[in-house]
Amino acid sequence: MQIGPYQLPNNLILAPMAGITDNPFRRLCSQFGAGLTVSEMVISNSELQQHPRTLKKTDYSGESSLRSVQILGTDPQQMAAAARLNRDRGAQIIDINMGCPAKKVCSVAAGSALLKDEGLVERILSAVVNVVEVPVTLKIRTGWDLANRNALKIAKIAEACGIQALTIHGRSRACKFNGQAEYDTIRQVKRHVNIPIIANGDIDNAEKARQVLDYTGADAIMIGRAAQGRPWIFRELHSQLSGQEIPPLSLSEIKTVINQHLENLYCFYGATSGVRIARKHIGWYFDQLGSLPSEQKTIINQAQQPAQQLALVNASFTFITPRVA
């Protein structure tokens, strides 16, 4: 898998996810073999570029893999300025968000709402590509709704503008995350453009990954929600797709992974924010491993200090029956 001058180690990519693909999670997924990780989306509004939360989203400390940052906005010149700023901050790839279906994003005509205006799409892509020398990629959905699937038109615009790779989530904006992703649109796009195509949507195991790659002809797959609480999915997919047989992680190994992740969160965000942000990850981890008694979940969520939270998480392993997906 090649993006511009960069040869990825494999074709398994971690999707950008708001509030999730931060520095600690990107590092963890890279450790388990993700060929590329993409930051959570960074708004292009110039007034927010120095905000502490924005700076945290683009903090690459300790990361050895390629640095790809996703930017979000509707104004071509503002998007160009954001691309330039993030390049200066160390981004090696700029990804443009035209796929987010969230109401608060689409209500300001950003994210997948941009798919309604193909002229604006072209102006944004051209402005960003022309202002930075690093590769620019794009993430879209199949269209605005099921009656308006214009991914192929957008893909042709993207290719003409110099976009180096295109990710397509197999749902329209109107679908949000409901129903099942479809791959016919991705297959159609792959047949009509020459840039690398990355398939996204509902890929959560090696069999599904192989089916999607074979059916669409895509160059890579992007993993999003399936990595929540299961960052080792990249290790599983890589080994199974390459025909290798490796044993699944033991419960003891998973416990070590969780400890490492939580400690990195505390270090990166500080005690108070680290504990708060860790709660959702803890929930996802135990969803993968097996159910916890509701009272134990409550106790963990009430923890206020890192040491207390970590101790409660480790003690919780005695309450579960191992069940690794």
Residues 49-92 pLDDT 10s? 667 777 888 888 888 889 999 999 999 999 999 999 999 999 99
Q: Would you say residue 2 has pLDDT above 90?
A: yes
The tens digit of pLDDT for each residue in 214-250 reads 999 999 999 999 999 999 999 999 999 998 888 899 9
Q: Which is higher by pLDDT, 131 or 246? A: 131
C-alpha pair distances (Å), 9 with each of 3, 23, 34, 54 = 11, 20, 8, 28
Share of the chain above pLDDT 90, in %: 70
On the question of pLDDT at 204 being above 80, the answer is yes
Residue-level pLDDT at 104: 56
What is the structure's pLDDT at 107? 47
Pair of tokens at residue 191: 């047949």
What whole-number distance in Å separates Cα of residue 156 and Cα of residue 45? 27
For the whole model, what pTM was predicted? Answer: 0.92
Q: Active-site residue among 100, 106, 161, 175?
A: 100
- pLDDT at position 38 is 96
Inform me whether the pLDDT recorded for 159 exceeds 50: yes
DSSP-assigned letter for residue 323:
-
Q: What is the pLDDT of residue 194?
A: 97
Give the mean model confidence (pLDDT) for residues 23-45. Answer: 92
Q: Residue 233: what pLDDT?
A: 97
Structure tokens at 177: 């995350």
Give the integer Cα–Cα distance in Å for 178 and 170.
11
Supply the pLDDT for residue 17.
Answer: 93
Pick 282 or 47 by higher pLDDT: 282
- Please say if 100 is a catalytic residue: yes
Share above pLDDT 70 across residues of the chain, in percent, rounded to a whole number: 93
> Band of the pLDDT at 325, cuts 50, 70, 90?
very low
How much is the pLDDT for 148?
79
Give the CA angle between residues 252, 255, 257 to the nearest 5°.
115
**Which amino acid type is present at position 20?**
I
Look at 20-24, 98-102, 185-189, 210-214 and tell me which has the smallest mean pLDDT: 98-102
- 43 sits in the region (left: phi over 0; alpha: psi -120 to 50; else beta) called beta
Listed in sequence order, the residues at least 6 apart from 75 whose beta carbon sits closer than 8 Å to its beta carbon are 44
pLDDT, residue 26, reads: 97
Give residue 320's pLDDT: 77
Band the pLDDT of 163: cuts 50, 70, 90.
Answer: very high
- What secondary structure letter does DSSP report for 174? T
Share the mean pLDDT of the chain: 90
More confidently predicted of 204 and 318: 204
47 contact partners, CB below 8 Å, separation of at least 6: none
